[in-house]
Amino acid sequence: MHLPEAIPKAELHLHIEGTLEPELAFALAARNGVELPYADTEELRRAYLFSDLQSFLDLYYELMAVLHTADDFADLADAYLARAAAQGVRHAEIFFDPQAHTARGVPIGTVIEGLGRALDRSEERHGVSTQLIMCFLRDRSAESAMETLNAAEPYLHRIAGVGLDSAEVGHPPSKFAEVYAAAGALGLRKVAHAGEEGPPAYIREALDVLGVERIDHGLRAMEDPELVERLVRERVPLTLCPLSNVRLRAIDVLEDHPLKAMMEAGLLVTVNSDDPAYFGGYVGDTFHAVHEALGLDPEQLRELARNSFLASFLDHDEERRAR
Ligand code: HPA
Ligand code: ZN
């Protein structure tokens, strides 16, 4: 059998800003004259002790201060694609958070042009096909999400779909019904984070009110057997991120992760890295970790890899070529 790291796979839940490694953060800080409140990479790494999603998001947004130019975004994405390729990734559907940058005065065009530059050369340079998913920050207003969609209009040829991320509890999917309807009318695909820290009801809302085709995380579906039955029946993919769940304290230890139970319940689950610079591993490392901690057998690892292509935005022919 291939090593779990080496199995060809797609990554469907990856925040490009969450791939900012401490070394690159310091290099970009120096390049842009930004002062970071950490003496060095070691001190920064020691800050990666999170108690929940919000404690992570605080650092995640803070560190983005080093990202300014299109070159910065291109370097960030290129570094991710190189690491992903080395871990068997053949296709990546990549989230980005425009509002986290426009709020700091970085134009959305700078972000998309920089990321686009790296993505355009990814197949040739890394053998990884890519798509971009623009996420709305759910702890900001619905109006701000709509302004973001409008600001992205000149760049829609570069964007495959929209997503919803950031602090979940208290910000249900229904808050974004209007902007998702507008995104759908523009022909964009739709996904949303739901059931990471929020209740199963948010997963239902994402499906019924936003009309998403995939649920990002969906971990808390397991509290609701009727919902599980529906997700199985409707073949709704869940993009799980086991290392993230442990680091953000949704799960105590990886050995307790319900991934295997979710597969055995018939759910279409995939395994992803979420914010690999912060959570201790890229997607190949994640395959390796769940193999070790949960005793997944080779066939189950192949099933996860197969699911990653099935749940992707690739059409059938593209998907076969990518595997
Ligand atoms: N959850 C919600 N929002 C995020 C995450 C996450 O794990 N990573 C980056 N934004
Ligand atoms: Zn995420």
pLDDT digits (tens, 9 = 90+) for 75-120: 999 999 999 999 999 999 999 999 999 999 999 999 999 999 999 9
Asked whether residue 187 carries a pLDDT value surpassing 60, the answer given is: yes
- Torsion over CA of 18, 22, 25 and 27, rounded to 10 degrees? -150
Residues in a beta bridge with 161: 133, 189
**Tens digits of per-residue pLDDT, 162-184?**
999 999 999 999 999 999 999 99
**Which CATH number is 273's domain given?**
3.20.20.140
Is residue 320 domain-resident? no
Is residue 102 domain-resident? yes
Q: Is 274 annotated as a binding residue?
A: yes
Asked whether residue 1 carries a pLDDT value surpassing 60, the answer given is: no
**Number of neighbouring beta carbons within 10 Å of residue 113:** 16
The number of folded domains in the chain is 1
Residue with tokens 């969609």, as numbered in its chain: 149
Q: Determine whether the shortest distance from the Cβ of 131 to ligand 1 is under 6 A.
A: no
| Longest Cα–Cα distance in the chain | 53
Residues in a beta bridge with 95: 15, 133
Q: Determine whether the shortest distance from the Cβ of 166 to ligand 1 is under 6 A.
A: yes
Structure tokens at 207: 């499906």
Is residue 282 domain-resident? yes
**Tens digits of per-residue pLDDT, 214-264?**
999 999 999 999 999 999 999 999 999 999 999 999 999 999 999 999 999
Tell me the H-state helices in 64-172: 70-86, 98-102, 108-120, 122-126, 142-151
How many percent of the chain have pLDDT more than 90? 95
Range of the domain at 298: 4-312
CA 286–ligand 2 middle distance (angstroms): 15
CA 133–ligand 1 middle distance (angstroms): 13
What is the pLDDT at residue 6? 84
Q: Determine whether the shortest distance from the Cβ of 193 to ligand 1 is under 6 A.
A: yes
**Tens digits of per-residue pLDDT, 125-134?**
999 999 999 9
Is residue 195 domain-resident? yes
Rounded to 5 degrees, what are φ and ψ at 92? -135, 130
Is residue 323 domain-resident? no
CA distance 242 to 250: 10
Q: Is 193 annotated as a binding residue?
A: yes
Is residue 319 domain-resident? no
Is residue 17 domain-resident? yes
Is residue 171 domain-resident? yes
Asked whether residue 318 carries a pLDDT value surpassing 90, the answer given is: no
What is the pLDDT at residue 316? 79
Structure tokens at 319: 């998907």
Looking at every residue in the chain, the average pLDDT score rounds to 97
- Testing ligand 1's pocket by substitution, the residue of 13, 96, 165 carrying the most ligand atoms inside 8 A of its CB is 165
CA distance 246 to 11: 19
Asked whether residue 315 carries a pLDDT value surpassing 90, the answer given is: no
Specify the DSSP element, H or E, that contains 10: strand 9-15
Active site residues: 196
Q: Is 13 annotated as a binding residue?
A: yes
Which residues fall inside 5 Å of ion ligand 2, going by CB?
A: 274
CA 273–ligand 2 middle distance (angstroms): 8
CA 120–ligand 2 middle distance (angstroms): 23
What is the pLDDT at residue 215? 99
Structure tokens at 203: 């997963």
